[in-house]
Amino acid sequence: MKSNFAQLYFRVAIGVAFFILGLDRLGAWGPYGSKNVDWGDWQHFYTYARSLMFFLPDSLAFAGAVIATGCEILFGILLVVGLFTRVAAIGSAILTFSFAVCMALANGIMSPINYSVFAVSAGFCLLASVSNYKWSIDEWLASRKPKK
């Protein structure tokens, strides 16, 4: 499989997932308990996020949940359109690795392994190492730069 397709597939698949999951925490897809809704509102998400960040004071855990949600929505958009792709991939690698570590601390090592969170983080590391992002705004912008 060519790396051009692989990077596009990963970017779009995980970017859409980040965007959808981030907005789910804000109730965009319906209330908690609705079909295909995991969180449905901030409170249901924050209860879970707080349990993962048990080692932080409540104010820092709240800030962490807000930052993580904002980053997931932003990174999701950037990954799908291919803008600042390397930065979004590095940020997403850090975000998912942090999530995996928190899951492991709170629920045991099998929790992030069962949900492939370490694997997703590693995928972001691979995406960050790609030399160019075919079919992206990054590629289009690079093609518009004058040749030296």
Q: What is the pLDDT of residue 81?
A: 98
Average pLDDT, the chain: 96
**Alpha carbons 59 and 67: distance in angstroms, whole number:** 12
Long-range CB contacts (< 8 A, 24+ apart) of 65-69?
Answer: 68/95, 68/99, 69/22, 69/25, 69/26, 69/45
The three-point CA angle 43-80-47 to 5° equals: 10
Give the pLDDT band of residue 1 (cuts 50, 70, 90).
low
pLDDT in tens, 11-45: 999 999 999 999 999 999 999 999 999 999 999 99
pLDDT in tens, 109-144: 999 999 999 999 999 999 999 999 999 999 999 999
Tokens for 119, please give them: 């694997």
Range of the domain at 116: 3-144
Kindly tell me if the per-residue pLDDT of 87 is higher than 60.
yes
Q: How many domains does the structure of the chain reveal?
A: 1
pTM: 0.93
103, 115 in Cβ contact below 8 A? yes
